[in-house]
Amino acid sequence: MEGKPVRLSRTVMTDLVLPPDTNNLGTMFGGRVMAYVDKIASIACMRHARRPVVTASSDSLDFLAPIKVGEAIRLEAFVTWTHRTSMEVFVKIESEDLMTGEVRLTGTSYLTFVALGPDGKPVPVPPVIPETDEERWHYDTAPARYAMRRQRKMERMNRYE
């Protein structure tokens, strides 16, 4: 299967943070951020595989700074690496103060998705072709994250059997 450049999966989403999106401190609910992360990651993976996808794991979601009511939330996602039927996707979360233009990194996340065929079963996905230094870094470090995911999954399966 022919590889696809990372840029073809790159997806950006921006939204205004309103009072219903926030907690009693005026900062965005973590669960709301998580929903945005899952949504944009699935779009990036569908762009890469050109197939329906499902979330297989959420490896990490690190909240680095709060996003305040009245700010914009900006998410950027791209597929970093693929295995046979799975895709690792990275999501960068930023906030923007729309009055000053200040942009802050507020979170990062790695997730894994699986592409599905018409029968609902996993199907092979194209490999990733990294082009920039950032894309190469994510690509080169992905096998270690993949190994950790597999180990974590096996440990949990053995513990709860």
Q: Is 43 exposed, middle or buried (0-12, 13-18, 19+ CB in 10 A)?
A: middle
Contacts of 130 (CB under 8 A, 6+ apart): 5, 6, 80, 136, 138, 139
- Cα 16 off chain centre by: 20
For residue 148, CA distances in Å to 60, 79, 91, 124, 151 come to 12, 18, 19, 21, 5
Question: Domain range spanning residue 34?
Answer: 4-159
Does 161 have pLDDT greater than 80? Answer: no
In the chain, how many domains are there? 1
46-100 pLDDT tens trace: 999 999 999 999 989 999 999 999 999 999 999 999 999 999 999 999 999 999 9
Residue 146's nearest CA partner among 68, 56, 25, 31 is 56
100-142 pLDDT tens trace: 999 999 999 999 999 999 999 999 999 999 999 999 999 999 9
Does 155 have pLDDT greater than 90? Answer: no
Here the CATH number for the domain that contains residue 9 is: 3.10.129.10
**Alpha-carbon gap, residue 111 to 98, rounded angstroms:** 29
First to last CA, the chain: 37
Q: Please tell me the predicted confidence (pLDDT) of residue 158.
A: 84
The identity of residue 69, as a single letter, is V
Identify whether the C-beta of residue 75 lies closer than 8 Å to the C-beta of residue 36. yes
Q: Please tell me the predicted confidence (pLDDT) of residue 128.
A: 97
